Amino acid sequence: AFDAEHPLFILYTSGTTGKPKGILHTSGGYLTQAAYTHHAVFDLKPESDVYWCTADIGWVTGHSYIVYGPLANGATQVMYEGTPDTPHQGRFWEVVQKYGVTILYTAPTAIRTFMKWGDDIPAKFDLSSLRVLGSVGEPINPEAWVWYRKHIGGDRCPIVDTWWQTETGAMMISPLPGVTHTKPGSAQRALPGISATVVDDEAHEVPNGGGGYLVLTEPWPSMLRTIWGDDQRFIDTYWSRFEGKYFAGDGAKKDDDGDIWLLGRVDDVMLVSGHNISTTEVESALVSHPAVAEAAVVGANDETTGQAIVAFVILRGSASETDNLVADLRNHVGSTLGPIAKPKRILPVQELPKTRSGKIMRRLLRDVAENRAVGDVTTLADSSVMDLIQSKLPSAGSED
């Protein structure tokens, strides 16, 4: 036995922007909340469930929901090391069928990849053991949510869209299966014991229908204790923006029912002719078009509008890259979100730069869009991706 505040681990944040931070977690509170959320959010029945979290074990999701939470709860689980398309693209569904997986926890980036590969692949396997599906890592676009529900969950399994961070240690906002009436694309409500809300620039809570910054207003057991070696940066980053509140760094809005919708990192929100536009919303509008499999949106410096929206898109197998298609996509975004959100440029690419946890590294795409040398690529899952994008776009920064 040792003290509850005994350090448990230091995990460096993935570094999609700036200098990595060593997030310090301690033992008692972290274990309590990892175990509690793993039990409550997945409705875990340790005697009968077979649980599978597909995360990389080096990501916080692997720490909390492969190692600490499930082991503390005595869960039976599948641990998998490998890619989802080796030896074939049905690998995940083969594993679900073989081991009778009942709870599956994966990321939107994986779900969109499975969508791209086709409905016929999961259809070849018996997925009837599944009963709860989870999502984590980025906002899940409604398109992917509906596909996950239908083609993996057989229209039978509740989906829990779990919002949390390395810093929070465990899930903070999520539906509860069998309790929450779910909505595709929204993480919805703070879990029992957690206080989350959305505030404006002056720290005032926004009314339903309003947007601003996600904050946590009360402490919680698994909160980070500091940034390793830099207490001042810990205070500045999380506790100084809004007095007495934890600033998560994510944009969010509340819908008319008071449910929370995450809009991506605040650093990723674009300012176009005085309008705040979230990268996530434009990406979600793009992938709701049948020709688009994936999208990444950045704001690039622009002399007239401050920032201009530049979209990188991966087309679906059947779609081909024509001037018409680009115009069509631009209009599709315009009619979904309004004319101000129409991307100025849309660039079809083969791959997008992502970390191993599936987060798009917009910093690198901004470098391309602003015609700069591409910055540090060491946290990319596949460091050759930027070469591929640039080789396809010799004039990426000078189209206009």
Give 319 or 381: the residue with its C-beta nearer to ligand 7RM.
381
Amino acid letter, 138: E
CA distance 240 to 246: 8
CA distance 357 to 185: 19
CA distance 359 to 19: 16
Q: Are strands 306-315 and 292-302 parallel, antiparallel or unpaired?
A: antiparallel
Min dist. Cβ of residue 266 to ligand 7RM (A):
9
Give 106 or 357: the residue with its C-beta nearer to ligand 7RM.
357
Min dist. Cβ of residue 136 to ligand 7RM (A):
5
Phi, psi of 298 (to 5 degrees): -135, 160
Applying CB under 6 A, which residues contact ligand 7RM?
13-14, 60-61, 136-139, 161-166, 187, 248-250, 262, 264-265, 357
CA-CA-CA-CA torsion sign (227, 230, 231, 235): negative
Min dist. Cβ of residue 275 to ligand 7RM (A):
21
Residue 173, CA distances (Å) to 31, 126, 188, 206, 271 in order: 18, 31, 7, 17, 27
Give 172 or 346: the residue with its C-beta nearer to ligand 7RM.
172
Give 54 or 97: the residue with its C-beta nearer to ligand 7RM.
54
Min dist. Cβ of residue 11 to ligand 7RM (A):
8
Min dist. Cβ of residue 329 to ligand 7RM (A):
24
Tell me which H or E stretch contains 92: helix 91-99
Dig out the tokens for 285 from the structure.
């509008």
Give 215 or 396: the residue with its C-beta nearer to ligand 7RM.
215
Residue 41, CA distances (Å) to 26, 191, 256, 281 in order: 22, 9, 24, 26
Dig out the tokens for 14 from the structure.
């993935």
Give 97 or 168: the residue with its C-beta nearer to ligand 7RM.
168
3-state SS, residue 341? helix
Cis previous bond, 207, omega within 30: no
Give 272 or 360: the residue with its C-beta nearer to ligand 7RM.
360
Min dist. Cβ of residue 55 to ligand 7RM (A):
9
Min dist. Cβ of residue 13 to ligand 7RM (A):
6
Min dist. Cβ of residue 310 to ligand 7RM (A):
20
Residue 297, CA distances (Å) to 69, 251, 322 in order: 34, 15, 20
Give 69 or 90: the residue with its C-beta nearer to ligand 7RM.
69
